[in-house]
Amino acid sequence: MPDKTTPLPQTALPPPAAPVRDRTGLGILLMCATSLIFAMQDGLSRQLAGDYPPVLIVMLRFWVFALFVIWLVARQPGGLRRAIRSKRPVTQIFRGVLLVAEVLVMVESFVRLGLVETHAVFTVYPLLVAALSGPLLGEKVGWRRWLAIGVGFAGILIVLDPGGTVFAPAAALPLIAAVMFAVYGLLTRLVARDDPAMVSFFWTGIAGAVAITFVGLRDWVWLAPGDWIWMGLLCVTAISSHFMLIKAYELAEASALQPFAYTQLVWVSFIGVLIFGETLRLNVVIGATIVVAAGLFTLWRTRMRRQS
């Protein structure tokens, strides 16, 4: 037994762990800023597509986006060689083509319907993701989420106003875009089982740029000198918004961020009304509110199921 005057051997204690910083607030702030930039991007797209073929605008945008993707992926571990190696190349290519087609349909809808009514219908896409996750991914969709999906589609009918003038063939464009984006999102979750996020990001940009080039070059026209400035701003907003979106998902979980993506509808409404002189009709406000509420409920139920 050691003497009381003999110091006991000291056990080295690990340094105190640094307190875990909750960065969800910063992620939410980035998501709100991203939604604002997305709205500005849509406004620029509508402005340019009113004077030039929409396919040309989307093609130029995806060319710059592809260059950004190559630059970003090259900075990651493994670089371009790692990004090219996908276990699901066919699905990845289809995702890229589907996304660029969805963007093209959305831009066409901006020109024909306007920003406000296009986004009021497009907000249904999270409900479509929930509805299609069963047949495409084999996920279970409970009766509560099916009820929310039904309520959301009732909101879409209020927006479209079948007895009014808005219910025209062009009104189907944002709904088609929403279906395409929902399938794109589900395919993204599918390839995420085998490929890292940067691999999917690379294939999205490259496949989309190649696909739109095949059809876009036929409509090539030179932009007026002043319009190249707007085109440059469109490309800058596209790059910055995607970069900020990536950073937001690095800081917080998707379930915490997704509700704040709906703020894009608010920004789009301001831009559509104040800049393009669009009318914010009462049925559009009511219908969009119902769709957003149903979407938020679906997100909440999904989060509860994951926690349980």
Output the pLDDT for position 17: 42
Report the share of the chain in percent with pLDDT over 90.
Answer: 26
What type of residue sits at position 24? T
Output the pLDDT for position 260: 77
Question: For residue 260, what are its two tokens?
Answer: 């704040």
Output the pLDDT for position 297: 74
* Distance from C-alpha of 133 to C-alpha of 140, rounded to nearest angstrom: 8
Output the pLDDT for position 136: 67
Question: For residue 153, what are its two tokens?
Answer: 């589609």
Least confident of 13-17, 69-73, 177-181, 238-242: 13-17
The string of pLDDT tens digits covering residues 218-235 is: 989 999 999 999 999 999
Averaging pLDDT over each range in 39-48, 118-127, 254-263, 277-286, which range is the top one? Answer: 39-48
* Nearest C-alpha neighbor of 256 from the set 20, 32, 19, 21: 32
DSSP 93-151: HHHHHHHHHHHHHHHHHHHHH-HHHHHHHHTTHHHHHHHHHHHHH-----HHHHHHHHH
Least confident of 125-129, 136-140, 271-275: 136-140
* Distance from C-alpha of 246 to C-alpha of 240, rounded to nearest angstrom: 10
Residue 11 vs residue 289, higher pLDDT: 289
Query: Residue 164 above 70 pLDDT?
Result: no
Residue 166 vs residue 58, higher pLDDT: 58
Averaging pLDDT over each range in 76-80, 194-198, 225-229, which range is the top one? Answer: 225-229
CB 212 within 8 A of CB 58: yes
Least confident of 5-14, 42-51, 144-153, 213-222: 5-14
Output the pLDDT for position 4: 43
Q: Any idea which residue has 């204690």 for tokens?
A: 13
Helix axes 89-113 and 172-191, enclosed angle (nearest 10): 160
Report the share of the chain in percent with pLDDT over 70.
Answer: 81
Q: Which residues of 218-248 are buried (b: 16+ CB within 10 A; e: fewer)?
A: eeeeebeeeeeebbeebbebbbbbbebbeeb
Query: Residue 107 above 80 pLDDT?
Result: yes
Output the pLDDT for position 169: 73
